[in-house]
Amino acid sequence: MKKIFTVIVLAGFLIFIFAAGSVASNKTVDAEQNKTTVAGLSAQAGALSVKEARFDFGTISMKRGKVHRLFPVANESDIPVTIQTITTSCMCTEAFLIGGEARKGPFGMPGHGFNSPPVNEVIPAKESRNIEVVFDPAAHGPAGIGRIERSVFIETAEGGTQAITIKALVTP
């Protein structure tokens, strides 16, 4: 009886060691695959660059109407990058993607009655597009007078995000 118990314990121990070794081996393979994937995504995520990510319109009057500014966005990587979405931080700001096949947009603030279409614009390696940012100083009425700061967010399918920020001093 003692021998049977010893054999069962020993067999169980050997099965445990074999199973643990198999799991550890799979984890090593998974870790190596994840390193490759993470490295690939990092290269893609940082691929878009905005040379001028901030712009100050200075003092603008509500009577002047909408103001516009073009911001070049470049894919500096060796692989294509897909712009998936473009959104704004406020409903008084719109953005358009210009270049490639055509002008796409307007893109606005999600969740405030503005239904931004998907962008899905592939920017080939070493090419660029323009983001046109349009700010309406009269959008908030008299309550919108004063210093403002708004942003446009460009998100890629590869997981990267770039922001463009505009400022202005809005007067009546």
pLDDT at 112 over 80: no
| Model confidence band, residue 22 (pLDDT cutoffs 50, 70, 90) | very low
**Between residues 147 and 41, which one has the greater pLDDT?**
147
Same structural domain, 3 and 24: yes
- pTM over cut 0.75: no
Q: Domain range holding 32?
A: 1-45
Backbone angles phi, psi at 112, to 5 degrees: -125, 45
Going by pLDDT thresholds of 50, 70 and 90, the confidence category of residue 58 is very high
**Count of Cβ atoms closer than 10 Å to residue 15 Cβ:** 10
Quickly list DSSP for 11-26.
HHHHHHHHHHHHHHHH
Measure the CA–CA gap between 167 and 172, rounded to whole angstroms. 16
Residues 88 and 6 in one domain: no
Say if residue 64's pLDDT is above 70.
yes
Residue 153, C-beta contacts closer than 8 angstroms, at least 6 positions apart: 85, 86, 87, 88, 89, 161, 162, 163
Q: What is the pLDDT of residues 117-147, one digit of tens each?
A: 789 999 999 999 999 999 999 999 999 999 9
Mean predicted lDDT score pLDDT of the chain: 81
| Residues 106, 28 within the same domain | no
Q: With contact defined as beta carbons under 8 Å apart, do 166 and 149 qualify? A: yes
Same domain, yes or no, for 36 and 78? no
pLDDT in the model for residue 111: 81
Clarify whether residues 80 and 40 are in a common domain.
Answer: no
Task: Indicate if 129 and 104 belong to the same structural domain.
Answer: yes
How would residue 47 be classed by pLDDT, with cut points 50, 70 and 90? confident
Q: What is the CATH number of the domain that holds 69?
A: 2.60.40.10
Query: How many separate domains does the chain show?
Result: 2
